[in-house]
């Protein structure tokens, strides 16, 4: 196990990584970028479940930045894959030469899909917080 999966986390990384991992119907390994999408119903279920438990403990600032968590983690993971590719694939194991480059493009495609639904998904968050 990697240490970053065993330590207590921060809202932005924990929630953001859940968004990154669960809302897309395909994994970061998918090379057919036309399959990358944001499933609104999964986003809603994730937010309902997460905020039903954590919502009362959040500060107003945290509540105002919940959508940002997904954008941040998807962007960061895309940059991490791209950086690893440019550094000779030294961190993430690869199965073929362009693997990390394709992972980076996958994540940036997911980021575009998430941002395209920002107004709708922010409405989901707002409804969950009421």
- Position 11 confidence tier, pLDDT thresholds 50, 70, 90: confident
Q: What is the DSSP string of 47-113?
A: HHHHHHHHGGG--HHHHHTHHHHHHHHHHHHHHHHHHHHHTTS-SS--SSTTHHHHHHHHHHHHHHH
pLDDT in tens, 98-117: 999 999 999 999 999 999 99
Confidence bin at 8 (pLDDT 50/70/90): low
Domain boundary assignment for the chain: 9-129
What is the average pLDDT value for the chain, to the nearest integer? 93
Percentage of the residues of the chain whose pLDDT score is greater than 70: 94
């Amino acid at each position: 196990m990697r240490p970053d999966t065993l330590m207590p986390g921060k809202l932005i990384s924990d929630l953001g990584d859940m968004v990154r991992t669960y809302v897309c119907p395909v994994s970061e390994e998918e090379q057919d970028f036309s399959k990358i999408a944001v499933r609104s119903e999964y986003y809603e279920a994730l937010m309902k479940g997460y905020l039903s438990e954590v919502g009362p403990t959040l500060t107003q600032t945290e509540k105002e930045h919940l959508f940002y968590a997904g954008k941040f983690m998807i962007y960061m993971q895309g940059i991490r894959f791209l950086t690893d590719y440019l550094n000779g694939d030294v961190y993430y194991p690869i199965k073929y030469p362009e693997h990390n480059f394709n992972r980076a493009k996958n994540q940036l495609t997911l980021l575009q899909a998430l941002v395209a639904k920002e107004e709708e998904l922010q409405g989901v968050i707002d409804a969950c917080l009421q």
